[in-house]
Amino acid sequence: MGRYPIFQSPLLDEVEHRMGSCRPWHAGPLGKDTRKLVEILTEDQAEINSLGLTHEQIAQRLRELASKAKEGWGEPVCVDEKFLVTIHDARGKLPCPWGHPGLYRKTHIELKNIETGEILVWSDLSIHMVEAHGFYQGKGSVYRLDPSRVKKILEL
Amino acid sequence: MTSILVGLLALSILTAVLALLLEVADSYFGFYGECQITINEGDRKLDVQGGNKLLGTLMDEGIFVPSACGGRGTCGLCKVKILEGGGPLLPTEEPYLEPEEREDNVRLSCQVKVRSDMKIEIPPELFLIKSFKAKVTGLRDLTATIKELNLQLIEPETIEFKAGQFIQFEIPEYEGCEEPVYRAYSVASATSAPNGISLIITRVPEGVATTYIHDFLKEGDEVVFNGPYGEFYLRDSDNDIYLVATGSGLAPIMSMLYQIVDQKIDRKVTVVFGARHLEDLMYMNEIKQLQERTSNIEFIPTLSKPPESDGWQGSTGRVTDVLDKIVETGDNKEVYICGNPMMVESVEELFKKKGVPENLIYYDKFG
């Protein structure tokens, strides 16, 4: 799953259905994207390949930054003298739409690149979906992690 | 050309007939008839129409199982024990159930459909939970990101709850939110004023509920909530009480303080409230008024990063810095913590190291 090429399957249909049922929360992980999930996964995978990155590399970096942000207890934390990272927690937990065991805290992690002012937003669940499924969310989702933006903002 | 049109017409008719057959089949096979739900070995018996999810069915009968996601299977709060009639465990339930829970027939009531007679077990206190209609009588900014919401009850006219508990607030459909959702908020007001409640709501970035409350809700609007819920409330003992909070975690703490003063609870109380700047402190006047009514409340607000312009003369640093200095041993102490999950974990750890038994540390982690 999340590896190129990606195939349409009944499982992926089910995952897509579950993502759709996440509305109205942030319009769900599919956002306002009109593409099928398989297309989103395939196109993002191709972009990741062309950028010379891997899902694991990106997830690892997001995890490290989130971990630093947690030390701030909701206040911005300066990381590597390059980023200001803040984490907000809301009540409740979320499952992975792929049906993996485990629940993820409802976190909202915001990173600002101090030099460029650009902002990247993700959640604990986002990190898992990138790492395990190569899913960067659909266009229009609040937590969409466009691979090119991720590379640029995180200076990967 | 004619043959193409005829073909298209035939296809359309066939599709319509198939759709109709599907509707008929669904209503026939999806019709489960009357079912009986026996609760807690016969304490209550409900005769209901089958076919709907157990959570919604119970709610229609006035029994409110906690849910923060409105039955979408994303919060894991709506657990009930189903002894008979629950069917097989569903993949959507699996992430939320520990192995021991599965063995004990615990299920997510928002996922289980009522298809036949059922026997279930729920905590008896759920029978006390009600749905309330209320009117917004006040919306007040406490800080730049935190609002106080005051509600006067319409139906029923009074609420009974324990200081520290929370309610489930219904967010109706609005722009950007296609269906109603529920969110949990602790009650900040006194149990001695049962005609209304106050809630404290922090604006969460992109939050469905907090955006509605901060940007759309107005005085005079009618709202719906249910409750009360939760195990976070003051225990009866002689132990000294430590109340620790950050941000909107102060809500249940305020309710506890009102209880302590109203009921003249004669125990030493230390309140440590952490914020970043002076402008983030809230309820300072209210706490001062409570202190004037009793001599056993010590209040220590602490700012983690006060700029010089604040002119702050009080404690600085995090709540853990303050507690480390003032708490010598864990003897005869009881702790109540609410707010940021990382703060809660750090404070819990600190008190455990000081010797407070784990069963005397209570928290509402907001996460």
At A13, is the secondary structure helix, strand, or coil? helix
Q: How does pLDDT run across B238-279, given as a tens digit for each residue?
A: 999 999 999 999 999 999 999 999 999 999 999 999 999 999
Domain with residue B69: its CATH number is 3.10.20.30
Least confident range from A105-109, B83-87, B249-253: namely A105-109
Q: Are residues B327 and B301 in the same domain?
A: yes
Backbone dihedral angles phi then psi of residue B3, each to the nearest 5 degrees: -65, -35
Evaluate if residue B179 carries a pLDDT over 90.
no
* Range with the largest mean pLDDT of A92-106, B71-85, B171-185, B313-327: B313-327
A110 chain-B contacts, CB cut-off 8 A: 205
> Quick one: pLDDT at residue A44?
96
Q: Please state the separation of Cα B267 from the chain's center in Å.
A: 28
Chain B residue nearest residue A25, CA to CA: B208
Residues B222 and B258 in one domain: no
B235 within some domain: no
Report yes or no: B362 and B232 within 8 Å, Cβ to Cβ.
yes
Residue B64 lies in a domain: yes
Domain count, chain B: 3
**pLDDT mean over A70-94:** 88
Confirm whether B116 is domain-assigned.
yes
Of the partner residues B76, B77, B205, the one whose CB lies closest to the CB of residue A88: B205
Q: Say what the pLDDT of residue B217 is.
A: 95
Consecutive H or E run containing A113:
strand A103-113
Q: What is the pLDDT of residue A106?
A: 82
Q: Which of B94, B126, B158 is the last residue of a domain?
A: B126
B260 lies in a domain?
yes
The pLDDT assigned to A25 comes to: 47
Pair B178, B86 in one domain: no
Amino acid B77: pLDDT = 80
CA distance B46 to B123: 16
More confident residue, B173 or B41: B41
Query: pLDDT tens-digit profile of B237-246?
Result: 999 999 999 9
| Most confident segment among A96-100, B213-217, B362-366 | B213-217
Kindly list the residues from chain B whose CB atom is less than 8 angstroms away from the CB atom of residue A89.
Answer: 340-341, 366-367
User: What residues make up the domain containing B309?
Assistant: 240-364
B132 CB burial (10 A radius; 0-12, 13-18, 19+): buried
Q: Which residue has the tokens 């043959």?
A: B3
> Each residue of A35-64: pLDDT tens digit?
999 999 999 999 999 999 999 999 999 999
pLDDT (0 to 100) of residue A13: 86
Residues B113 and B133 in one domain: no
Burial of residue B88 (number of CB atoms within 10 Å: 0-12, 13-18, 19+): exposed
Residue with tokens 């947690």: A70
| Confidence (pLDDT) at A24 | 46
Residue A22 has pLDDT above 50, yes or no: no
Residues in chain A with CB shorter than 8 Å from the CB of B304 are: 73, 75
Interface test with B, best of A26, A89, A143 (most B CBs within 10 A): A89
* Residues B266, B196 share a domain: no
Pairing state between β B222-229 and B130-141: antiparallel
Write the burial class of residue A55 (CB in 10 Å: 0-12 exposed, 13-18 middle, 19+ buried): buried
Interface residue ranges in chain B relative to chain A, Cβ cutoff 8 Å? 68-69, 72-77, 91-92, 94-96, 176-179, 181, 183-184, 204-208, 246-247, 276, 304-305, 318, 340-343, 366-367
Quick one: average pLDDT of A12-32? 71
Which of A118-132, B64-78, B306-320 is predicted with the least confidence, judged by mean pLDDT?
Answer: B64-78
Helix or strand holding residue B208 (H, E): helix B208-211
CA–CA min distance A135, chain B (Å): 19
pLDDT at B29: 59
Rounded to a whole number, what is the distance in Å from the CA of B238 to chain A's nearest CA?
32
- Rounded to two decimals, the pTM is 0.82
B116 token code pair: 């036949």
Cis peptide upstream of residue B194 (ω within 30 degrees of 0): no
**Residue A21, min C-alpha distance to chain B (Å):** 7
Beta bridge partners of B242: B270, B335
Residue B121 lies in a domain: yes
Min mean pLDDT across A112-126, B1-15, B141-155, B220-234 is at B1-15
* A99 has a pLDDT exceeding 70: yes
B191 and B271 in a single domain? The answer is no
For residues B95 and B190, state if they share a domain.
no
HSE value, Cβ hemisphere, 13 Å, CA-based, for B288: 6
What confidence category does residue A1 fall into, taking pLDDT thresholds of 50, 70 and 90? very low
* A82: three-class secondary structure by DSSP: coil
My answer on whether B256 and B359 are in the same domain is: yes
| Structure token pair of residue A87 | 């984490």
Residue B197 sits in a domain whose CATH number is 2.40.30.10
Domain shared by B143 and B177, yes or no = yes
Average pLDDT, chain B: 91
> For residue B9, what pLDDT is reported?
87
Q: Residue B365 pLDDT > 70, yes or no?
A: no
**Is residue B339 one of the residues assigned to a domain?**
yes
Domain ends where: B201, B229, B257?
A: B229
Please report whether residue B25 resides in a domain: no
**Are B74 and B88 in a shared domain?**
yes
Residue ending a domain, choose from B229, B259, B294? B229
Percent of chain B at pLDDT exceeding 70: 95
How many CB atoms within 10 Å of residue B12? 10
Give me the residue from B73, B96, B340 closest to A73, CB to CB: B340
Same domain, B268 and B296: yes
Lowest mean pLDDT among A22-26, A39-43, B35-39: A22-26
Phi, psi for A69 (deg, rounded to 5): -65, -35
Q: B181 and A28 in contact (C-beta within 8 Å)?
A: no
Contacts of A102 in chain B (CB under 8 A): 95
Q: Which of A39-53, A139-153, B29-43, B244-258 has the lowest mean pLDDT?
A: B29-43
- Rounded Cα distance, B190 and B186, in Å: 12
Q: What share of chain B is helix, strand, coil (3-state, %, to 5)?
A: 30, 30, 40
Q: Is the residue at B234 inside a domain?
A: no
**Whether residue B209 is found in the same domain as residue B274:** no
- Residue B260 belongs to a domain with what CATH number? 3.40.50.80
For residue A114, what are its two tokens? Answer: 């101090």
